[in-house]
Amino acid sequence: MKLTAKGYDVVTAEDGAAAVSTVRREKPDLILLDLSFPPDVSHGGLAWDGFQIMSWLRRLDEAKNIPIIVITGGVSAESKDRALAAGALNLFHKPIDNDALLTVIRQTLGENAAVTQPSPAPIPQAAG
């Protein structure tokens, strides 16, 4: 699913350090996060995973309340419980049901709320 085609601004990060830095800089409304990263993504530094990223984000004042939706493949029930306990709002297994994910994104961002109509403009009173 292309979120940009649905009207969302998307920012990506290739590793954990970049993810934390990007969240601090961009302050997104929502985070989509994979739990696992290939070993070569650590670039010789800390080998991040989604749990570590969530742990870091939950300690940052500017990021601790940003909703996180985990998207991952082959996750066990224990990992799902761990992800939810670490602060994930929801978890989707690959292959992803794009319609269900989009529904959760919209609900999380409050986009399914009823549209309120503006109050009618006051009627001008004639002087006199």
pLDDT at 114: 39
Mean pLDDT of 90-114: 87
75 forms beta bridges with: none
pLDDT in tens, 29-50: 999 999 876 655 555 556 678 8
pTM of the model: 0.78
Quote the CATH superfamily of domain 27-108.
Response regulator (3.40.50.2300)
Measured in whole angstroms, the distance separating CA 36 from the mean position of its chain's CA atoms is: 16
| Sequence spans of domains, the chain | 27-108
26: closest CA among 42, 10, 8, 50? Answer: 10
Higher pLDDT, 2 or 60: 60
Report the percentage of the chain scoring pLDDT > 70: 77
